Amino acid sequence: MKNKHVMTIVGIFSLVWLFGYAYTGNASENNVDYSISANLPENQREGNSTYFDLIVTPGQEQELTVNIFNSSDKEQTFILEANTAITNSNGIIDYTRPDKEQERDSTLNHAFSDLVAHDETITVGPNSNALAVFKVTVPKESFKGMILGGFHVRQETPERTDGQINNTYSYALGVVLREQEENITPELKLTGITPDLKNYRPQMSVNLQNTQPINIKELDIKATVRKKGQEQVLKTAEKQGLSMAPNSNFDYAISWEDQALEAGEYELILSAADQDGNKWEFKESFTVTKDNAEEVNKSALGLTSNNVKDDRFLYLLLGVVAVLAVLVFYFIRRQRALVLQQEQLRKQKKRKKRPKSKRSTK
């Protein structure tokens, strides 16, 4: 079976305050034999010099170019993508996921990938530069806030047939489109709570949605779960420094660790706050059905819940009882057979010992 391991370097050209994450380093430090950089246009906002942050007008068409430098001694081919920004399962803004691999958020009006035309690949000679051209068409109707996406560049590497690990590297270059400077307040909504599995362990997935065309930065979240009507906290999940893309959602995980999921009525209490002072509080009741619990637990590994232990002990006990019942039945039946056999032997012995009667003569 062919193995391919992709090592991704994401966010090298991002700023923490805007995108909520950044990767520090350069190609030489990571043994990467190519690099990319943005050729910034005149409508670039002041203060940002490592990614595209553009002031645009409705219906505007513009070519954005990315310089790709191949520092190796051989020709290389690179795959180009223009992806809409999403919030991944780790609570990080991500530009590396093509639209075909994800479901668009219901509040997203303008997907960045729909606005960009580009070649799928570009080939660069050894120790040479080449320009990747992305043609951006701004929506004709005016929009508020920002449209966020990114140019994703990765090496094209053929599948290996020897079963060895094949390392490739990729870069993501952020792109922000906005018509004007304006303050938009993000809005966080809780849209659902679902029991499922992660790494073969039960968890509750709490779907959080940013419904506004603005990103959320340095988001801190704390969630607790308890049985409905009870004060005892069953599970707690707390994370700091998360980020969310505009008009996106993600599943915030509350791990059940090695405990089996029990059916019943639960209550979630979740609080969140970002670096701009926005705060959100949620209190939501939800139900885990017997079918939900059984489906999750049967696919989980390494559960040590008392319920699981009790079930296993019960099955073991029933098995032992069944074996003992069979042995007892066999023993009793055998004893009865022995008793009958002994009775028959005694009767036969008595017949043999009984003397014969003599006839009298006159």
Same domain, 52 and 101: yes
Task: Give the 3-state secondary structure of 286-307.
Answer: EEECHHHHHHHHHHCCCCCCHH
Same domain, 129 and 246: no
- The per-residue pLDDT string of the chain (362 residues; one tens digit each, 9 = 90 and over) reads 444 443 334 433 333 334 433 332 334 345 789 999 999 999 999 887 889 999 999 999 999 999 999 999 999 999 999 999 999 999 999 999 998 888 999 999 999 999 999 999 999 999 999 999 999 999 999 999 999 999 999 999 877 666 666 677 899 999 999 999 888 999 999 999 999 999 899 999 999 999 999 999 999 999 999 999 999 999 999 999 999 999 999 999 999 999 999 999 999 999 999 999 999 999 999 999 999 999 999 988 888 754 544 455 566 677 888 888 888 877 787 777 777 777 777 767 666 665 555 554 44
| Position 23 in a domain | no
Q: How far is CA 294 from the centre of its chain?
A: 21
| Position 210 in a domain | yes
Number of domains making up the chain: 2
Sequence-distant (6+) residues with CB within 8 A of 30 are 9, 169
Same domain, 173 and 225: no
Same domain, 84 and 195: no
Same domain, 196 and 173: no
Indicate the SS3 state at residue 340. Answer: helix
| Position 106 in a domain | yes
Same domain, 174 and 210: no
Cα separations (Å) of 281 from 221, 238, 245, 269, 308?
10, 14, 20, 8, 34
| Position 70 in a domain | yes
E strands in the chain: 5-6, 34-39, 52-55, 61-70, 76-84, 86-87, 93-94, 116-118, 121-124, 128-137, 146-155, 167-168, 170-178, 188-198, 201-210, 216-227, 233-244, 248-255, 264-273, 279-288
- What's the token pair of residue 287? 């139900």
Query: Which domain, by its residues, includes 256?
Result: 188-299
| Position 107 in a domain | yes
What pLDDT score was predicted for residue 334? Answer: 74
- What's the token pair of residue 92? 């990080």
What pLDDT score was predicted for residue 153? Answer: 97
Same domain, 38 and 173: yes
CATH number at residue 238: 2.60.40.10
- What's the token pair of residue 69? 């430098």
Sign of CA dihedral 42, 48, 52, 53: negative
Same domain, 150 and 198: no
What pLDDT score was predicted for residue 23? Answer: 33
Same domain, 48 and 173: yes
Same domain, 209 and 112: no
Same domain, 173 and 45: yes
Side chain identity, residue 112? F
Q: Which of 66, 96, 64 is nearest to 177 (CA)?
A: 64
Q: What is the largest CA-CA distance in the chain?
A: 156
Sequence-distant (6+) residues with CB within 8 A of 146 are 176, 177, 178, 213, 214, 215, 246
| Position 225 in a domain | yes
| Position 148 in a domain | yes
Contact 36, 52 (CB under 8 A): no
Element (H, E) at 103: none
Contact 119, 107 (CB under 8 A): no
Backbone angles phi, psi at 19, to 5 degrees: -100, -10
- Cβ of 202: how many Cβ atoms within 10 Å? 26
Same domain, 142 and 210: no
What pLDDT score was predicted for residue 324? Answer: 84
Concatenated DSSP letters of 133-202: EEEEE--SS---SEEEEEEEEEE--PPPSS----EE-EEEEEEEEESS-------EEEEEEEEEEETTEE
